[in-house]
Structures are given as C-alpha cells and as structure tokens.
Amino acid sequence: MGARVKVCGITRRDDALRAADLGASAVGFVFWPRSPRYVDPEQATAIARDLPPDVAPVGVFVDPTVTAVQRIAAQVGLAAVQLHGDEPATLCDDLPYRVLKAVAVAGDGTYEAAARVPSRITVLLDARDPVRRGGTGRTVDWGVAADVAARRRIFLAGGLCPENVGEALRTVRPYGIDVSSGVETLPGRKDAGRLRDFFEEVARA
C-alpha cells in the first residue's frame, strides 16, 4: 500500500469530494481563526457529512483547550485531531481520537523533538513557522525527515506539490503525506488540475 494522503486546508465541499475521489485517506479542516484556511465548524460539519466513510475528517488546532477540541470534534464528527501549536502532544490523552502532532524540522533538534512525542501519536513533520503554523509552501530537510521516518510512523508536510512529491516519497518513505498550499490557487481553494497531478505523481512513486 502506498503512502496515505491528507489534503489539508479544506474550505469547500467540491474540493473535499474531489480529493476523496482521487484517493485521499483524510481531509483537514483548520479551526485556527488566524489561518487564511480557517473554516468555521458549521461549514466543516456540512462538508464532513458528505465525505465517504473511508475518508477521515481531521481537525487542525493550534494551542486549543481540551473543551474546544471536544466541542468541535463532536459537532463535526472528527476522526482525528492534529495539534499544530506549542501544546503538549498528550493534550488529547483522554479523548477518543487519533492524534497527529506537528514537529518542526530544524536540524538535529528534530530528532529530540520527535522523540518526545509518545509512540501512540503520529508525528507530522513540517516547516518551522511560529506565525503561520503550516501551509507555508516551504519544504523541509528530507534527509532529516527520512531519519525520523526510519524510526517511527510519520506524515510528511512542508511545501509538497506535484513537482516534488515523487522525490519526497522516494527519499523519505513516510507513512503519509500532507498537502495544502502546493495544490491551491488561493489559500483554501484547491486547484482541480494540480490536485489530480499530485495524486498521479503519488501513484507513480
């Protein structure tokens, strides 16, 4: 089986369904109000309702409270929670969701940061950006990412696009990949052609 693909920053139903049709295993809804890809829970609920059962709706949070995660997850019907701030990876220990924890790729410090994340939680490697918190379009050091991927299950993010995803997959060999800005025309608006090209490159790799 190839790498799982999560298409993040979904704000439109058509984009979510197109990603699902192309083979996405998950779509991501950003619930951080400062993000240009922010989607309100009501809109995300309507989109998630139409997803096929084998496509997981994932909520992306930045430094949330447990109460906020519980409320939004219950409303939207989230299958997983992605923590993309400075919160501890164990924030959702008592909640019945799969958890992804973003770790910034920053040289040798990446290994220690990833090692602090409990093994039951999936690490998502992304570019460091304390302001935008993802969706930067910047690639990470794939050599460092490959070393982490050899030790544990990871999702690879950071500047992935149709032009580089094949090389990224062959170099890093991650469990999954996360794409957002690399298949967009504008933040939160996916380009149908680039999305199709992305999945074709994933299949080739």
Per-domain boundaries in the chain: 4-204
What is the mean pLDDT of the segment spanning 137-142? 84
Give the 3-state secondary structure percentages of the chain, helix then strand then coil, rounded to 5.
35, 20, 45
Supply the CATH classification number for the domain 4-204: 3.20.20.70
Question: Which phi and psi angles does 136 have, rounded to 5°?
Answer: -85, -20
- 10 Å Cβ neighbour count for 129? 13
Q: How far is CA 142 from the centre of its chain?
A: 17
CB 110, CB 103: distance < 8 Å: yes
Q: Does the pLDDT at position 1 exceed 70?
A: no
The pLDDT of residue 131 is 47
The pLDDT of residue 130 is 55
The pLDDT of residue 202 is 97
Q: Does the pLDDT at position 58 exceed 50?
A: yes
Residue 155: helix, strand or coil by DSSP? Answer: strand
pLDDT in tens, 60-102: 999 999 999 999 999 999 999 999 999 999 998 888 999 999 9
pLDDT in tens, 34-53: 999 999 999 999 999 999 99
Catalytic residues: 8, 126
Ramachandran assignment for 174, one of left (phi > 0), alpha (psi -120 to 50 degrees), beta (any other) = beta
pLDDT in tens, 150-194: 999 999 999 999 999 999 999 999 999 999 999 999 999 999 999
pLDDT mean across residues, the chain: 93
The pLDDT of residue 192 is 98
What is the mean pLDDT of the segment spanning 22-30? 98
Measure the CA–CA gap between 27 and 139, rounded to whole angstroms: 20
What is the pTM for the complete model shown?
0.93
